[in-house]
Structure 1
Amino acid sequence: MKTIKKPVQVEINVKKSQFICSLFPTRTKKESKEIIQKLNQQYSDATHNCTAYIASDGEGFDDDGEPGGTAGKPMINVLRKNELHNITAVVTRYFGGIKLGAGGLVRAYSKSVMEAIGEAEIVEIEEYSVFELVFEYSNIKTADMEVRNNNLETIDKQYSDKVSYEVISRDNRDVEKIFEKYSGKIRVSFKNKQFLEKI
């Protein structure tokens, strides 16, 4: 699965209309909608802010007042054609006074997204399960040893009344089974799914 490593923005001009394409790596529909809302505010003076996103929990697009099928759909088609996931595209248009017609709009919105993808750093991502380990301070050495020996990756550590690690397994082995032998001394619970860059 592919996405972009970091946000990118590209500007093109077509018959005096300005098209600004902003691409963002996003995991969920909620994240996509938050970014779209933010850009709508940032470019509130624009003629249109057309959008397309493909997230882990769904996808969508919006023509934002352009003739139906001339903006959002061509944008999402470019994302699909490039096999990109976990991505949000917003194309902001400032109308330059010359109408482009339906075909011209489709080409302009498609080209805008293609140019931005061309500037972006594409990375391979994979879905992993995140687990939380909770244990007493006296078990830190044991937990560290098992994490190391089983090639688990620690992505977060918290120290309060107890110690809490967030770990992932890149080969998707059953993390709960690894710690079964400690009969409750190290409590393991599934937390969520995350997309991380493939190494």
Structure 2
Amino acid sequence: MKTIKEPVQSEIVIKKSQFICSLFPTRTKSESKQIIQKINEQYSDATHNCTAYIASDGEGFDDDGEPGGTAGKPMINVLRKNELHNVTAVVTRYFGGIKLGAGGLVRAYSKSVMDAVGEAEILEIEEYEVYTLIFEYSDIKAVDSEVRNNSLEVIDKQYSDKVLYDVVSKDNRDIVKIFEKYSGKIRTSFKNKQFLEKI
């Protein structure tokens, strides 16, 4: 699977209508909705702000007043065709006075997203199970050793009264089993699934 590395924007003009496509990397539906709200505020004077997103916890699209099926659905189809995940697309339209018809709208919204995807830097991603390890500071060396020896990847570290590592396995090793021998000292629990850049 794939995603985009950073936000990108492209613009096309078709029969005097201006189409601005903004693409953003987003992990969740909540992030997508926040981005959409921000774009709606930024382009509050636009005729339409049509949207499509594919996140780790769901997907959706909206025609924002365009005829049903002529904007959001073609946009999400472009994302699917390009195997993109964790991405939000917003196409802002300023109407130029010439109607495009249903077919013309489908082509315009599709092209707008395709052009933006073409300008984006694409990353290969995979879905991993994320586990949280909770342990004492005195066990950092032991945990780091197990992480290295078992080809695990630490994607986040937190230091408070205890140490918390979020870890994933590069080759689907059973993380719980790896730390079974530390029962009582190192707590291991499933956190969530995330799409991450290939490691």
Q: Please give the TM-score of this superposition, normalised by the length of structure 1.
A: 0.94
Residue 3 in structure 1 maps to residue 7 in structure 2 = no
Q: Which runs of 5+ in 1 are unaligned?
A: none
Query: Post-superposition, which runs of at least 4 consecutive aligned residues in structure 1 deviate over 4 A?
Result: none
Identity %: 85
Contact 2:56 2:194 in 1 (8 A): no
Report the 3-state secondary structure (helix = DSSP H, G, I; strand = E; otherwise coil) of the residue aligned with 1:41: helix
The equivalences for 1:2-81 within 5 A come to 2-81=2-81
Q: Which amino acid aligns with 2:194?
A: Q
Give 1:41 shift: 0.8
Amino acid at match of 2:183: S
Deviation at 1:15, TM superposition (A): 1.3
| AA of the residue aligned to 1:45 | D
The one-letter code matched in structure 1 to 2:58 is G
Partner-residue secondary structure (3-state), 1:98:
coil
How many residues are paired up? Answer: 199
Residue 90 of structure 1 corresponds to 90
Q: What's 1:135 paired with?
A: 135
- After superposition, the CA RMSD in angstroms is 1.3
Counterpart-to-counterpart distance in 2, 1:162 and 1:68: 53
Any gaps of 5 or more consecutive residues in structure 2?
Answer: none
Q: Which residue of 2 aligns with 1:195?
A: 195
Of stretches 122-131 and 42-51 in structure 1, the one that deviates more from structure 2 is 122-131
Residues in 2 aligned to 1:160 and 1:134: alpha-carbon distance in whole angstroms? 11
**Residue 71 (structure 1) shift:** 1.0
Tell me the distance in 1 between the aligned counterparts of 2:87 and 2:158.
30
1:104-123 equivalent positions in 2, closer than 5 A: 104-123=104-123
C-alpha distance in 1 between matches for 2:136 and 2:80: 47
Task: Tell me how far apart the structure 2 counterparts of residues 150 and 114 of structure 1 sit (CA, whole Å).
Answer: 41
1:77 Cα deviation after fit:
1.6
Change (3 A) 1:56 1:183: closer
SS in 1 for 2:69: coil
